[in-house]
Structure 1
Amino acid sequence: MSTLYKLTDNYQHVLEIAEQLDPETLKDTLDGINDAIDDKAENTAKVIRELEGNINTLAAEIQRLNERKTALNNNVRFLKEYLQNEMEKVGKDKIKSDLFTVGIQNNPPSVYVENEKKVPLDYFVEQDPKLDKTLLKNALKNGNEIEGAELRQQRSLRIK
């Protein structure tokens, strides 16, 4: 495994096993490394950057594979429509070969709604109200006191 940063053996080992460990075991592994806090912070930051790079690489690969999947699905849909149209042109509903039986059949009935506003309310499902957290946050920021909600300031680590 090639890494962006030069890591000591201890932190290289942490990087190699990080994907397989649950957070508590990862913490225990890091706690077991006896380095000064400054060295531990720098080396842990290197491991974090390396893992973030892996995440970005995986995200790009997932996007590429999803795009490929979409293209293949589109081709399958096109080929099915093409074959159905060609069979309908020649008036065939079924073709048998050594490998496949290709047939055109009726699908179950489906509902097509031409104008939703004309459909009686009996056919609609009521939904629970949904909390608008952005509106709530802005109200709290403006000093409004709202029972059951409060603003909380969290802290998090930044690596620059």
Structure 2
Amino acid sequence: MSTLYEITGDYLRLLEMLEEEESIDPQAFNETLEGIEGEFEIKADGYARIIKELRAESEKYAAEVGRMQKRMETLANNEKRLKQYLYESMKATGKTKFKTDLFSFGIQKNGGLQPMEIVPDVEIPDEYCRKEPDNTKIRDALKAGKELPFAVLKERGDHLVIR
């Protein structure tokens, strides 16, 4: 049995022959076409079975990832809770820096950018704001036929559907 690549090549050569040659025996052409189409459909069925198996296997792994993700979150939450409890206990007792045989403990100021809060209900001047394009408004204008020098609609992609 031919590969999908070979079948596709045969099909394209047959169509090319139809375009180039003026006199082709219609019966021979139809028989060849039916043979190629039959092989193509058999091959497509095989591909579909493999695709479905791969999807099922992928979904099985996705479920396992979900289960492990929940376990990871539980462990991380437990770590965070214990660390917060130790932090609060150290602050309450005033024992903010000490060493044991295994670990060193200390409470220190956070690094990085200094925290900031935007005061609600106070207008922020334009010089402190970013201007971002409204994609929905731009897309609607292009669909309506308006020509915009800064944007164009692109062709939609396509994909295979197997039911």
TM range (shorter): 0.5 to 0.7
CA contact (8 A) 2:97 2:106 kept: yes
TM-score for the superposition, normalised by structure 2: 0.60
1:101-128: CA deviation from partner (whole Å, max 9, x where unpaired): 0111122473241524436426734133
Residue number in structure 2 paired with 1:121: 125
Task: Give the 3-state SS of the residue equivalent to 1:57 in structure 2.
Answer: helix
Residue type of the alignment partner of 2:81: F
1:31 matches 2:5: yes
1:110-149 pair list within 5 angstroms: 110-113=114-117, 115-118=119-122, 120-121=124-125, 124-132=128-136, 136=139, 140=143, 144-147=144-147, 149=152
Task: Give the 3-state SS of the residue equivalent to 1:132 in structure 2.
Answer: helix
TM-score for the superposition, normalised by structure 1: 0.61
Gaps of at least 5 residues in structure 1 are 1-9, 11-28
Deviation at 1:149, TM superposition (A): 4.6
Q: Say what the alpha-carbon RMSD is for the aligned residues.
A: 3.6
Distance change >3 Å, CA 74–CA 120, structure 1 → 2: same
Residue number in structure 2 paired with 1:53: 56
Gaps of at least 5 residues in structure 2 are 8-37
Aligned residues: 129
Residue number in structure 2 paired with 1:103: 106
Once residues 123 and 154 of structure 2 are traced to their aligned partners in structure 1, the CA distance between those partners, rounded to angstroms, is 43
Percent identical pairs in the alignment equals 30
Choose 78-87 or 106-115, whichever is displaced more. Answer: 106-115
Equivalent position to 1:90, from 93, 101, 104: 93
Deviation at 1:47, TM superposition (A): 0.9
Residue number in structure 2 paired with 1:14: none
Residue type of the alignment partner of 1:49: K
CA contact (8 A) 1:137 1:151 kept: no
When Rg is computed on C-alpha atoms for both structures, the one with the higher figure is: 2
